[in-house]
A and B are shown apart, each in its own frame.
Chain A
């Protein structure tokens, strides 16, 4: 191919420096990035789905024991964390909007608030875990859940072995969720750095968009974890 044809090809459109050569236009590149993120989120749904499936099977099998174990978790902290994550999802959409409309300070502030809310979430989670360690509710050698009545059956005690399965699921599911939060904080620290360097424009802000998709997904997982782990059998 001669130099003149190359120039001719590139001349068709004003090339944004972020537009990779194998994409015809910026819109196609954005769509490809977001499609890839959605496929990744699909694998994440199946990943957490397996754990939710395990939860449903054992909840059905050890119904009362799960109720008794769930009652020992602090539901108010769980509800607070749900609200914290919902607020962080709002600041994420504000960040995406700010990037689309070239509002630099709103973008930076939104990213910082999102990260702060993520840290608040992890702090509350750590406090919750501390309670569980102190109460010996962590599965393992020092686990103890003796003489805890089953909700609705005050004359029956929960089977500690069955309650231990609830706490194993509780720690695995909330722990993996917290790991996703930590990864999200890392991603957002990078986004904040890039935004601060002025890397994002209304034409190019794909990392903010797909980072936001990830954050919202982690929020959706929590939206299901909260009622399933914290709110079963709360009523007197």
Chain B
């Protein structure tokens, strides 16, 4: 932690902020372009990149020295994946009969 505090992180914070605003602008504009089924994919990929930027740089997961914290974050994502993926695997394969 003391290594990081020597150089000011302000430049990084403002770059992430600019990237997040740019991502919002691109999502907004891309939604009005006909991309077929890829509209949802583009929107969700941009949203995930934005969420990662916030989590890694604003919430300081990047550079976190605490291993337990990383375990908690990874388990959260893992259980969310089980919730969403297994539910959709169920509902997505129900039209067989």
Contact = CB atoms under 8 A, between A and B. Distances in A.
A223 B66 contact: no
A53 B83 contact: yes
Contact residues on B (Cβ < 8 Å of other chain), bracket: 35 or more
Given A75-B28, A213-B59, A45 B80 contact: yes
Nearest to A28: B66
Interface residues of A, number: 49
Contact of B21 (A52, A83, A94, A234): A83
A115 interface: no
B39 A235 contact: yes
Contacts of B21: 83, 86
A83 B24 contact: yes
A220 B55 contact: yes
Contact of B47 (A41, A50, A224, A232): A224
Interface string B14-25: 100100110011
A42 B66 CA distance: 16
Contacts of A231: 27-28, 31, 43
A60 B93 CA distance: 12
Given A35-B66, A90-B13, A226 B76 contact: no
Given A50-B83, A235-B32, A235-B39, A220 B51 contact: yes
The prevalent SS among residues of B at the interface is: helix
The 6 residue pairs across chains A and B that have the minimum distance between CB atoms: A227-B43, A231-B31, A42-B76, A234-B31, A90-B17, A235-B34
Nearest to B88: A56
A60 B88 CA distance: 9
The prevalent SS among residues of A at the interface is: helix
A79 to B, nearest CB: 5
26 contacts: A27-B1, A35-B68, A38-B73, A39-B72, A42-B75, A49-B83, A50-B83, A53-B83, A56-B87, A79-B24, A79-B25, A86-B20, A86-B24, A89-B20, A92-B58, A93-B58, A212-B59, A219-B54, A223-B47, A223-B51, A224-B47, A224-B51, A227-B47, A235-B31, A235-B33, A235-B34
Contact of A45 (B32, B46, B76): B76
A56 B13 CA distance: 33
Contacts of A61: 91
A49 B79 CA distance: 10
Nearest to B35: A235
Interface in B45-76: 46-47, 50-51, 54-55, 58-59, 66, 68-69, 72-73, 75-76
A147 B57 CA distance: 47
Contacts of A220: 51, 54-55
B96 to A, nearest CB: 15
Nearest to B44: A227
Contacts of B54: 89, 216, 219-220, 223
